[in-house]
Each structure stands twice: as C-alpha cells, then as structure tokens.
C-alpha cells in the first residue's frame, strides 16, 4: 500500500476512496441492470414485454439527468474545497530551491547545502519548493506525499508539503523529458528534526543562498549600477520584493520571484517606469542556480538595509 506520508495525503485518499465507492456503486447498478435485463429479456423467455408506461420515459429521464448532475456537482465541490487550502503556500515554510535539468534534480537548502537526486527534510515542518528548469519541462512528483508540480523553464513554480512520517520516499520526474526520463528519479528522506539538524551540520556548507547571491551581486557587476553610489541610474533593490512596481507602459506588477528572475535574465521585458533599458541581459551570463541565489539575495534586502555592500 502507498504510505500517506504527508499531511495532504489523507485528504486526497479520502476523496480517492470516496470516488472508488461511488464508482463501484454506479458500476454495480449499471452492470447489474445490464446483466439482469440481458438474462431476463433474452430471446425466448416469456418475460412480460408490454409497452412502457407513458410517464416512464420522460420522468425517468429527467430524474436520472438531475440526480447525475447533482452527484457531479457534489463531487466537484468536495474535491475543489479540499484543494483550496493547498493552493495557498504556507508563509513560514522551510524554503528549498529546486533546479531540474535533463536528467537530474538539484536541491538547495537555505543554509547553502546542496543535494543531487535527493532531498532531506525534517518531519512536521512545512516545506516549500521553489522550482525552475534549466532546459525542458519536468515535473516534481512524490506519490507518498500526493504532490506533483510541473517544473518549467523560464519561470518559477512552487508547491509545498508537510511530511508526517519518517522514511525514504520516491521522487519521480513525471513529465516526459527525453531520453533518460525514467532515470530522473530521486529519494526524499524525511528525518526527525534533530537528525535533520545533525545531517545538515555534517554537510559541506557553501555560503547561505542569500549570501552567495550577495557575492554574485558584486562579482557579476550588479552593484555597479544598483549600488548606493552608482552613477548610472538603476532602480533601487531594497524593499523591492513583494512591492508594486509601475512599469514604463503604465501597468503595475508585483515584484515576485518570477518578475525578479525575468528582470535579471531579460531586463528589457518589463522596464520600470522612469528608467531606460540599459541593463544587459544576464540569461547567458548567470546560470539558473546563480539566478536563484541572486533572487534570494534581493529578497533578503528589506527597505531598512542598503543595497550597497
């Protein structure tokens, strides 16, 4: 049997098994009637075959149309209501960045620990996955958690889970991605929080993600324009994340991860009002993991701190 290893799993299974029950019931009624009629009214029996009463065709027809519609709408409501809470990403989750590429999964913990085709997470803590792909579309699927989310190139997608049972679970790429699609698998290891902390401490640490982004911020020359003492006018980055930005064409956009990422990779796409489009595109300069770090750095800059480092 498939373990119910996340807080979401029991809710999904409730609907799944509810639908199994409904299907068995309907299949039983339809199959039973087909069988019963086929036997009773087979050629040669002397079953009563008189004309159908007038009321039967119309009222039976309307009756089963309405009741089927009612059942369908009920199931829709039931399933949609169960999904709604999962659409909202938890605020205080452990945030893990995932970069997919043909044919491996790379994960980065906020402390800077990196893993390939594996992900260690603590039990009982909501984990949010911020994901992007370096090439084609992949999909991050963990059957034991009942989660799945396509991972797209050129965009961030997110999903979350809260593991509730310690153990090792399959991670599958579930969107066909080319030759070694079937080998793009991994293991999700759910650990007790203390064990997770020990594991984390034992891993080789890079700088934390935002710190790494900060170094790139200088190394890639971002600070030359976005820094406090820059001579070229560029939009300030402090407090940018989550704020409303007015664009050159007058429209507004929320500066989320996707917008930040797009503005690094293809700055001319959505230019901030009042600035000219002079920033070079970084899509061939910084790789996906570096962009993830830069975005993490920009997110870490609240308006109280200066962008100039």
Partner 1 sequence: MKADDTGLLAREPGETSYLTAGTTLRSWLLSTDHKRIAILYAVSITVFFFIGGAAATMIRLELFTPAGDLTTADEYNRLFTLHGVIMVWFFLIPSIPATLGNFLLPLMVGAKDVAFPRLNLMSWYLYVTAGLFTLAALLLGGVDTGWTFYTPLSTLYSNSYVLLAAFGIFVVGFSSIATGINFIATIHLLRTKGMTWMRLPLFAWAMYATSLVMALATPVLAMAMLLICAERLLGLPIFDPRVGGDPVLFQHIFWFYSHPAVYIMILPAMGVVSEIIACEARRRVFGYQFMVYAMLVIAVIGFLVWGHHMFVAGQSPFASMIFSFLSFVIAVPSAIKVFNWTGTLYRGRIRFSAPMLYALGFVGLFTMGGLTGLFLASIPVDVHLSDTYFVVAHFHYIMVGGAVSAFFGGLHFWWPKITGRLYNENFARSAAIWLFFGFNFTFFPQFVLGYLGMPRRYHEYPPEFQVWNVMSSTGAVVLAVGYLMPLFYLGYSLLHGERAGDNPRDATGLEWATSSPPPQHNFHAPPVVRSEPYAYHDWDEAPGDADETPQTDAP
Subset of 168-207 contacting partner 1 (CB under 8 A): 170, 172-183, 185
Find the angle CA(150)-CA(145)-CA(20) to the nearest 5 degrees. Answer: 100
CB of 233 to partner 1, least distance (A): 25
CB nearer to partner 1: give 126 or 153: 153
What angle separates helix 257-265 from helix 288-300, to the nearest 10 degrees?
120
| CB count in 10 Å sphere of residue 209 | 27
CB nearer to partner 1: give 108 or 139: 139
In b/e form, how buried is each residue of 151-176, taking b as 16+ CB within 10 angstroms? Answer: bbeeebbebbbbbbeeeebebbbbbe
CB of 183 to partner 1, least distance (A): 7
Question: Residues 79, 166, 225, 238: which binds partner 1 (CB under 8 A)?
Answer: 79
Report d(CA 85, CA 108) in Å as an integer. Answer: 26
Report d(CA 27, CA 24) in Å as an integer. Answer: 5
42 counts as binding partner 1 under rule CB under 8 A: yes
User: Judged by CB under 8 A, which stretch of 35-43, 237-245, 286-294, 298-306 contacts partner 1?
Assistant: 35-43
The pattern of x and - marking residues 45 through 74 that bind partner 1 according to CB under 8 A reads --xxxxxx----x--xx--xx--xx--xx-
User: Judged by CB under 8 A, which stretch of 93-101, 107-115, 167-175, 204-212 contacts partner 1?
Assistant: 167-175
CB nearer to partner 1: give 25 or 201: 25
The pattern of x and - marking residues 218 through 257 that bind partner 1 according to CB under 8 A reads ----------------------------------------
Host H or E run for residue 142: strand 138-142
Beta bridge partners, 157, equal: 131
Query: Binders of partner 1 among 102-131, rule CB under 8 A?
Result: 102
Question: Residues 10, 21, 27, 251: which binds partner 1 (CB under 8 A)?
Answer: 27
Pair of tokens at residue 59: 């009222």
Question: Residues 10, 21, 59, 76: which binds partner 1 (CB under 8 A)?
Answer: 76
Report d(CA 53, CA 72) in Å as an integer. Answer: 29
263 counts as binding partner 1 under rule CB under 8 A: no
CB nearer to partner 1: give 108 or 133: 133
75 counts as binding partner 1 under rule CB under 8 A: yes
CB of 267 to partner 1, least distance (A): 12
189 φ/ψ angles, rounded to the nearest 5 degrees: -105, 115
Report d(CA 61, CA 64) in Å as an integer. Answer: 6
Rounded to a whole number of angstroms, the distance between the first and last alpha carbons of the chain is: 54
């Amino acid at each position: 049997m498939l373990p119910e290893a996340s807080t979401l799993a029991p809710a999904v299974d409730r609907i799944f098994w509810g639908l199994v029950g409904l299907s068995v019931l309907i299949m039983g009624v339809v199959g039973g009637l087909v069988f019963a009629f086929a036997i009773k009214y087979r050629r040669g029996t002397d079953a009563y075959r008189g004309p159908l009463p007038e009321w039967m065709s119309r009222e039976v027809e309307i009756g089963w149309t309405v009741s089927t519609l009612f059942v369908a709408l009920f199931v829709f409501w039931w399933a949609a209501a169960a999904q709604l809470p999962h659409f909202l990403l938890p605020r205080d989750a452990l945030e893990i960045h995932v970069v997919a590429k043909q044919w491996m999964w790379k994960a980065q913990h906020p402390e800077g620990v990196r893993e390939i085709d594996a992900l260690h997470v603590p039990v009982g803590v909501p984990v949010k996955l911020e994901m992007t792909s370096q090439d084609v579309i992949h999909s991050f699927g963990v059957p034991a958690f009942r989660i799945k989310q396509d991972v797209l190139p050129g965009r961030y997608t997110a999903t979350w889970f809260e593991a509730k049972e310690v153990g090792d679970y399959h991670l599958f790429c579930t969107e066909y991605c080319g030759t070694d699609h079937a080998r793009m698998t991994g293991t999700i290891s759910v650990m007790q929080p203390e064990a997770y902390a020990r594991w984390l401490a034992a891993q080789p640490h890079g700088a934390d993600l935002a710190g790494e982004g900060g170094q790139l911020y200088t190394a890639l020359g971002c600070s030359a324009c976005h820094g406090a003492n820059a001579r070229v006018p560029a939009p300030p980055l402090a407090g940018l994340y989550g704020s409303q930005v007015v664009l050159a064409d007058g429209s507004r956009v929320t500066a989320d991860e996707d917008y930040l990422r797009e503005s690094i990779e293809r700055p001319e796409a959505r230019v901030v009002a009042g600035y000219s489009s002079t920033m070079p595109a970084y899509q061939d300069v910084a790789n996906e993991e570096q962009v993830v770090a830069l975005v993490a750095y920009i997110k870490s800059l609240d308006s109280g701190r200066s962008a100039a480092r």
